[in-house]
Amino acid sequence: MTTPSPPLQPLPPPPPEADLIRQRREAAFLSMRQAALGAGVSPTAWAEVEAGRKKVAPGVEVAKRGTPKILAAMARRLSITPDELARAGRDDAAAYLAAILRTVESAPELTGRQRSRLTSRIIRDTSDPQ
């Protein structure tokens, strides 16, 4: 005879950065898919970060927080500043994004569009900070 499994604990609400991302995306009138594709993030990863949870099996979800790299990409897409990420409790993502922005801003010969494209490319092509 098998012993029944204990009931699953309810998941906590989404973290503050998830709410910030969702609110800014909705204010920009973007679908999750549009926002994700514009940020270079998979739509699935975007949805998981915004919901604060990830489905790991049928009927089973676990809490999910975005990596600094993914949050930086999402923040760039939605014009969220490093200070806003820090206020949402993600100092790691704020520092990552701020470092990239400082690096790009140190090249005065670039146009605004070039800076924006370079920032996005750095975020996309680098690995997450340790």
Q: Is residue 109 part of a domain?
A: yes
Average pLDDT value for residue range 7-32? 89
Q: Is residue 91 part of a domain?
A: yes
pLDDT in tens, 42-93: 999 999 999 999 988 888 888 889 999 999 999 999 999 999 999 999 999 9
pTM: 0.82
Q: Is residue 81 part of a domain?
A: yes
**CB atoms inside a 10 Å sphere around CB 54:** 16
Q: How many separate domains does the chain show?
A: 1
Q: Is residue 87 part of a domain?
A: yes
CA–CA dist 109, 68 (Å, integer): 28
pLDDT of residue 7: 54
Q: Is residue 9 part of a domain?
A: no
pLDDT of residue 25: 96
Q: Is residue 2 part of a domain?
A: no
Average pLDDT value for residue range 97-117? 87
Angle, vertex CA 99, rays to CA 104 and CA 40, nearest 5: 75
Question: 87 is in which domain, residue-wise?
Answer: 16-125
Residue 117 predicted with pLDDT over 70: yes
User: What is the total residue count of the chain?
Assistant: 130
Q: Residue 117: which CATH number?
A: 1.10.260
Q: Is residue 3 part of a domain?
A: no
